[in-house]
Amino acid sequence: MSFARRVAHPPLSRNTNGNTNNNGTAGGSRAPSRPTSRSNLQLAFINAGVNTSGQAGGGSNSESSSIDDAFNRAIAPASPSKERTRMLGIRSDGVGGTHFKQKGDEESNIQVVVRVRGMAPGEAPPLQPILSTSGPHCSSINVAMETQQSASSVNVAANSVQSSLVGDGGNVRERSYPFDHVFGPEADQGMVYQSVVGPVLNEVMNGYNCTVFAYGQTGTGKTHTMEGDLTSQLGTYSPEAGIIPRTLYRLFHTLELSKDEYSVHATFVELYNEELRDLLSDEAPQPLGGGKDSSGLRMYEDKGKGVNIQGLEDIPMRDAEHGLRLLRKGSQKRHIAATRCNESSSRSHCVFTLTIHIKETTSKGEDVLRTGKLNLVDLAGSENIGRSGAENKRAREAGMINQSLLTLGRVINALVEKSSHIPYRESKLTRLLQESLGGRTKTCIIATVSSERSNMEETLSTLDYALRAKSIRNRPEVNQRMTRAALIKEYVHEIERLKGDLLASREKKWNISIA
């Protein structure tokens, strides 16, 4: 999943002594108030100067002028500034999305984690819990089932991945599901982060694109797991903070200690009723339902570079606290409503993306950029409309959510069965997750489930899908380290593409006005 964005970049942050403040965050320059037409990658490389042959040089005035002229020619016809910044959406996923194969890069299974919903403060424990685990952190989960509901063995996935039914000598059988990690209801937020997402963040900083997404029935704790408490306490995250806040603080702390130059950018997009919406945009929300142009965002597939979203705000972050404020800002705009199943039910899917650029020097003394990207996805929950009491608008929302999740299930089944056709294009959700499911990304799925017997059907469905997803094989590839010459080549190509798009747009408007 790749995003072509409107960009607003400050200078690349530089660490001089590796010190951090008490909360472990890094400082940096204040972001400009208006989007600019330059990526901070240029500040690191282009301002250093290159000659036309691609060799590092002293940065002659003629070379800098020619680059400036190229950018000015590309954006000069655009008016007003809103159109200009929207059209100039320089990609930053691996700086153009190019990849190369390294020794050790090979196919690997998607990591699948299960988390059992814990009890909220003041909430009574379930009378007949159906789920059991051997402690707060283990590798399997058991589902207590009545005898008439069970069989001696159930094969729920391909490639010999199975669940099994274990007898206890009574009228109840237990179906056992093995996973990479299983967290019981007593597991806290920190345990989930340290065991699952901490290692993923290390891979991102090594130059990989990674995705973590939460999947499950409505009301089972997906948003709590991904976001949790978004307040800050004593200069750091809350004890109930979820994966995203903890990732922000851990990321900036690690970058500050590394003494490398770096930059971190964030996007936050919502998929509501199959329409995309930018949650970080300062523009007034447009009414949804008007087709692909109603939100100003356009999804398209760039050959060899994956799916892009053009027109999406790309915000440079100064430190973890700034990132947390952006997360709160976007979360407040998200579509949420109360149902019988969940007082704060998410009515949309959301993707919070961090793109990290780190400058490093090769053994030959050449400066290159290492780029990694982390997609943190909070999916809306599957919903039984009859039980949730959804009507009218809420029923339509639930129908769209269930439809997109059904498509996700079909994609998982097709990948496991190695089908010749994978139905990615049947939903915008699966198009967004295309690289994360069977693509070049390292992926982790966190399946959230409930211990309530009344949720037995949904719980079994979630566990079955999660078990099947364990058989999906991705082909993770490290992003190419970009040199100055390669970076400029990418920008020249992007400029030409944007000029073509702008010309086509103007011709279309001209033809409409004549008609």
Task: Collect all residues with Cβ–Cβ distance below 8 Å to 405 and sequence separation of at least 6.
Answer: 215, 379, 380, 382, 429
Q: Is the pLDDT of residue 475 over 60?
A: yes
What is residue 390's predicted lDDT score, i.e. its pLDDT? 55
Q: Which of 15-24, 258-267, 376-385 has the lowest mean pLDDT?
A: 15-24
Q: Is there a binding annotation on residue 222?
A: yes
**Amino acid, res. 80:** P
Q: Is the pLDDT of residue 64 over 50?
A: no
pLDDT per residue over 126-152, tens digit each?
Answer: 878 899 999 999 999 999 986 444 443
What is residue 364's predicted lDDT score, i.e. its pLDDT? 83
Which of the pair, 232 or 98, is modelled with greater confidence?
232
Which of the pair, 146 or 48, is modelled with greater confidence?
146
Q: Is the pLDDT of residue 411 over 60?
A: yes
Task: Collect all residues with Cβ–Cβ distance below 8 Å to 365 and sequence separation of at least 6.
Answer: none
Residue 309 phi/psi, 5-degree rounding, is -115, 110
What is residue 323's predicted lDDT score, i.e. its pLDDT? 96
Mean pLDDT of the chain: 75
Q: Is the pLDDT of residue 486 over 50?
A: yes
What is the distance between the alpha carbons of residues 195 and 240, in angstroms, rounded to a whole number? 16
Residue 76's pLDDT band (boundaries 50, 70, 90)?
very low
What is residue 149's predicted lDDT score, i.e. its pLDDT? 44
Q: Is there a binding annotation on residue 216?
A: yes
Residue 330's pLDDT band (boundaries 50, 70, 90)?
very high
Question: Contact 111/153 with Cβ under 8 angstroms?
Answer: no
What is residue 414's predicted lDDT score, i.e. its pLDDT? 93
What is the distance between the alpha carbons of residues 188 and 200, in angstroms, rounded to a whole number? 19
Q: Is there a binding annotation on residue 101?
A: no
Which of the pair, 494 or 473, is modelled with greater confidence?
473
Which of the pair, 258 or 385, is modelled with greater confidence?
258
Please, is 435 exposed, middle or buried when counting C-beta atoms within 10 Å of its C-beta (0-12, 13-18, 19+)? buried
Q: Is there a binding annotation on residue 291?
A: no
DSSP strand pairing (262-272 vs 111-116): unpaired
Q: Is the pLDDT of residue 292 over 50?
A: no
Q: Which of 100-114, 173-187, 221-235, 249-263 has the lowest mean pLDDT?
A: 100-114
Q: Is the pLDDT of residue 68 over 50?
A: no
> Cβ atoms within 10 A of the Cβ of 499, count?
16
What is residue 163's predicted lDDT score, i.e. its pLDDT? 58
What is the distance between the alpha carbons of residues 372 and 264, in angstroms, rounded to a whole number? 10
Of 346, 319, 343, 320, residue with least CA distance to 332: 346
Q: Could you write out the three-class secondary structure of 302-338?
A: ECCCEEEEEEEEEEECCCHHHHHHHHHHHHHHCCEEC
Q: Is the pLDDT of residue 29 over 60?
A: no
**What's this model's pTM, rounded to 2 decimal places?**
0.73
Q: Is the pLDDT of residue 462 over 60?
A: yes
Q: Which of 103-107, 312-316, 395-399, 420-424 has the lowest mean pLDDT?
A: 103-107
What is residue 40's predicted lDDT score, i.e. its pLDDT? 52
Q: Find tokens 């606290």 and name the residue.
A: 321
Q: Which of 100-114, 117-131, 140-154, 380-394 has the highest mean pLDDT?
A: 117-131
Q: Is the pLDDT of residue 400 over 90?
A: no
**Amino acid, res. 483:** T
Q: What Rg, from alpha-carbon coordinates, does the chain have?
A: 24
Q: Which of 76-80, 290-294, 488-492 has the highest mean pLDDT?
A: 488-492
Residue 79's pLDDT band (boundaries 50, 70, 90)?
very low
pLDDT per residue over 346-366, tens digit each?
Answer: 778 999 999 999 998 888 888
Sign of the Cα torsion 141, 144, 145, 147 reads: positive
Q: Is the pLDDT of residue 97 over 50?
A: no
Counting residues of the chain whose pLDDT is more than 90, the rounded percentage is 40
What is residue 338's predicted lDDT score, i.e. its pLDDT? 59
Residue 306 phi/psi, 5-degree rounding, is 85, -165
Q: Is there a binding annotation on residue 54?
A: no
What is residue 106's predicted lDDT score, i.e. its pLDDT? 78
Q: Is the pLDDT of residue 436 over 70?
A: yes
DSSP strand pairing (131-132 vs 345-346): unpaired
Q: Is there a binding annotation on residue 223?
A: yes
Partners of residue 165 on adjacent β-strands? 175
What is residue 334's predicted lDDT score, i.e. its pLDDT? 85
Which of the pair, 33 or 428, is modelled with greater confidence?
428
Q: Is the pLDDT of residue 214 over 80?
A: yes
Residue 346 phi/psi, 5-degree rounding, is -70, 125
CATH 3.40.850.10 assigned to domain 86-116+185-487? The reply is yes
Ordered by start, the domain boundaries in the chain are 86-116+185-487, 132-178
Which of the pair, 15 or 432, is modelled with greater confidence?
432
Report the alpha-carbon angle 415-421-426, nearest 5: 90
Q: Is there a binding annotation on residue 85?
A: no
What is residue 30's predicted lDDT score, i.e. its pLDDT? 38
What is residue 203's predicted lDDT score, i.e. its pLDDT? 96
What is the distance between the alpha carbons of residues 383 and 217, in angstroms, rounded to a whole number? 6
pLDDT per residue over 239-263, tens digit each?
Answer: 999 999 999 999 999 999 988 899 9
Q: Which of 23-27, 68-72, 125-129 has the highest mean pLDDT?
A: 125-129
What is residue 159's predicted lDDT score, i.e. its pLDDT? 42
Q: Is there a binding annotation on residue 20?
A: no
Q: Is the pLDDT of residue 201 over 50?
A: yes
